[in-house]
Amino acid sequence: MQNGDGRNAMKVIKNCALAVRLAVHYAPWSALLYFLTCFIPGFFNGCKVILMQRLVDSGVAYAGMRLGTAGMQSVEGMPSMEGVYFIEGAHSMEGMQSVSGAYIAQDMAVTGTVLVVMLFVWFVLERLQGYEEKVLESRLTRYMAPDIMDKLGKLEYCDFESREVQEVLQRISGEPWQNVKSCFVGSMCSIYALLSLGFMLSVYASVSFWIGAGIFLVAIPMLVMNFAGTKRLQGIWRSTTMQARRIADLKLLMQDKHAMYEMKIFGSQEMIAGKWEEASSGVEREIRKTGRSVMALEGGSRLLSLVCFVFIIIALTFLFLQGRVTTGQFVAVIGSLSTITGQVYTATWTVTNTFRSALDMEFYQEFLALRERTDKRNVETLSHGDIAFENVSFTYPGTDREILKNVTFRIRAGERVAFVGENGAGKSTLVKLLCGLYEPDAGRVLIGGVNVRDLSEELRRRMLSVVFQDFQEYELTLRENVALGDISALKEDDRIRQALEQAGGAGLYLQEEKGLERNLGHLEEDGKDLSRGQWQRVAIARAFLADAAFCVLDEPTAALDPLAESRMYENFLRIFHKNGTVMISHRLASAKMADRIMVLDGGRIVQNGSHEQLVGTEGLYRTMYLAQSSWYADSGEKDVREDSESREKGAGVESAGGEKGIRMESASVEKGARVESAGVEKGVRTESASGREAGVESASVGKEAGVKSASREKVAGMESADGRKGVSGELGQGKGGYVP
């Protein structure tokens, strides 16, 4: 136990020193002035006792002289009255008394003036102390936050998923600068309290050694009890961190409109409220349980201060009756009893509260000690712009399941590649590795032949822009939201508007009086929230603004309707026709737009080729494609838009161009969906490959005609939409290479 207390004491000293360094670093003048406003008044309580004693003794001596008393007390610190009587040039008792009276009156005037000046300076320093504390807090708030954000940016992304790291972040998530300020202020106040108490004890000891010793002995158990109470309060905070995280999460749910919408639909508010009650009651039980013992310790400390008060009165009265203390000493000490007992209590609680603040600073120390990225991140130029995964395997920290297994592929600069697969196949994990958020367990992730984690921040931004499925909704202005894609374009209205237009979000500023300056979210009084789809357009506009060599699209259109999704992908291909694109998608209609498609299954790339190649080959892609196509076909009229001018009973559909047959246009998927038309004996199968025309052979013409597609595209040697040749074949797993 003693070793534990010793370690805690060393932590307190270390953390207090850190708080002082931080305060001096961020606000040097405020820290210095605050120290002076604590250090100088530390002598004032003791000086006040001395000055009061001198003033009273001088007054008593002067009054006795005026009354003609024969015996006069020696005033401590003044020349003895016997010495005064032998002043050179004094020839009579009356003359000597006159000189002594004038000296005493002068001494009283000087003592009183010094006392008044000291009290005035004390008052000014107290006001200055309060002002400098506010300035210190303001500067810490202003300058610490960027450094904390910088530290967060240097942390390993995988550590954010660690429970231990999450608890550290939870403890500093409020206002860590407040912990620094509290620890610094507590340290300075402890200096003041201990200095003031020590000086007063020396003054009391000069009156009587036993009074000083008694006060000191009472202060020790008070300090121990207050320290024990502080440790127990600190224990509450540590033991309830998990419950506090749970309460914070539930609080966010209560504030989230999407969560509230779902809770209202399913009627789950009561269950969530029960979770809140459970977590809150657990914290309350801990507080009540520990609070009773802390209250008992505080009561014992207060009782000891009362014992100290009674002891001083009894001892001082006894000494005064014995003539061992002067009237001034008796009056000054009695007058300062409330001060000295208060100082004992204040000093012990100030020290223990500083101890608690210093332990709170331990969380900041833990935060600073979190490991940072060790990669160089200093590469500024690349010889080429290809992306390559070489034998990459990856398992998320804290789990046993291998998400990626010896994955190898290459994406050439300017190439459009789509990754498809079932949920959990590892598609989004590929994106995280490509962005350098995680480091693979084995293998390498390269851009331009350089490890992606060695790219400088500026080069990485030029090479990659990302639109995540779980995009962030920033409660900033519309301008600032989009400009986060390229901060240098913050004042370039034309570029920001163009990015919004390309993302289909022109209405976000055209229909608003404030235009790009409109506030999004509910943080500002005039702020307006957006729909999920509108927020997604803003996120996509950020990617358009960034104009990186590769745009990574991780299910970016999940919140858009099928027509909007189709238009959005067309915009992507049009805008990034000279840039590379990496698409992650569940909807194979969008994957068809890619030059090459890679199919992930069980953490491996099992197929690799163009849409035409893969759909014509037995495999997972064909199975998924036909399954999605049949789903849309079975969904009927909702997924098909018919362009026609008239319908005939039991017959086919006559197109606006006058030709008989059926012309079907899919609203959400590829034109290759099977459509069963009423009155048509045989189904229609139309297969399109991003603008290529499928040959259609008419089987019969007339009212009862059906249409039968007779064209088939050959898989081998098929060219992609932009003229590039499709890449066929599958990657050899475990062989460390790829087949171009």
Q: Decide if 738 is inside a domain.
A: no
Domain containing 466 equals: 387-615
Helix (H) / strand (E) containing 581: strand 580-584
| 365, 15 contact by CB (below 8 A) | yes
Domain-embedded: residue 722? no
pLDDT at 120: 94
Residues 426 and 322 in one domain: no
Alpha-carbon dihedral angle through residues 631, 635, 641, 644, given to the nearest 10 degrees: 120
Residue for token digits 């998923």? 161
Q: What is the pLDDT of residues 226-243, one digit of tens each?
A: 777 767 776 666 666 667
Q: CATH number, domain at 363?
A: 1.20.1560.10
Task: Examine the domain organization and report whether 401 and 478 are in the same domain.
Answer: yes
User: Is residue 721 one of the residues assigned to a domain?
Assistant: no
* Cα dihedral sign, 141-142-145-147: negative
Tell me which of 578 and 326 has the higher pLDDT: 326
pLDDT of residue 426: 87
Checking if the pLDDT of 659 tops 70, the result is no
- Give the span between the Cα atoms of 514 and 498, in whole angstroms: 17
Give the separation between CA 191 and CA 187, rounded to whole angstroms: 6
Inside any domain, residue 514: yes
596 with 685, same domain: the answer is no
Q: Would you state the pLDDT for residue 78? A: 46
Q: Is residue 713 part of a domain?
A: no
Of 369, 402, 418, which residue is a domain's last?
369
Question: Among 554, 580, 615, where does a domain finish?
Answer: 615
Is 380 contained in some domain?
no
CATH number, position 470: 3.40.50.300
Verify that 53 and 167 share a domain, yes or no.
yes
Q: Is 549's pLDDT higher than 50? A: yes
Domain edge (last residue) among 615, 635, 667: 615
Residues 161 and 42 in one domain: yes
Tell whether 456 and 583 lie within a shared domain: yes
> Is the pLDDT score of 586 beyond 80?
no
Q: pLDDT for 196-213, tens place per residue?
A: 888 888 888 888 888 888
Query: For residues 425 and 601, is the Cβ–Cβ distance under 8 A?
Result: yes
Q: Is residue 173 part of a domain?
A: yes
Angle at 249 between CA 246 and CA 253, to 5 degrees: 135
- Among 310-319, 345-354, 371-380, 672-681, which stretch is predicted with the lowest mean pLDDT? 672-681
- pLDDT more than 70, % of the chain: 74
Domain shared by 301 and 404, yes or no: no
Q: How confident is the model at residue 68 (pLDDT cuts 50, 70, 90)?
A: low
Residue labelled with tokens 């475990």: 734
Instruction: Give the per-residue pLDDT at 28.
Output: 93
**Same domain, yes or no, for 657 and 590?**
no
Are 602 and 674 within one domain? no
- Shared domain for 27 and 89, answered yes or no, is yes
pTM > 0.75 = no
pLDDT of residue 559: 58
In the chain, the number of structural domains is 3
Q: What is the pLDDT of residue 388?
A: 94
Consecutive H or E run containing 624: helix 620-634
- For residues 303 and 441, state if they share a domain: no
Q: Worst-scoring range by mean pLDDT, 163-172, 279-288, 484-493, 671-680?
A: 671-680
Task: Classify residue 520: in a domain, yes or no.
Answer: yes
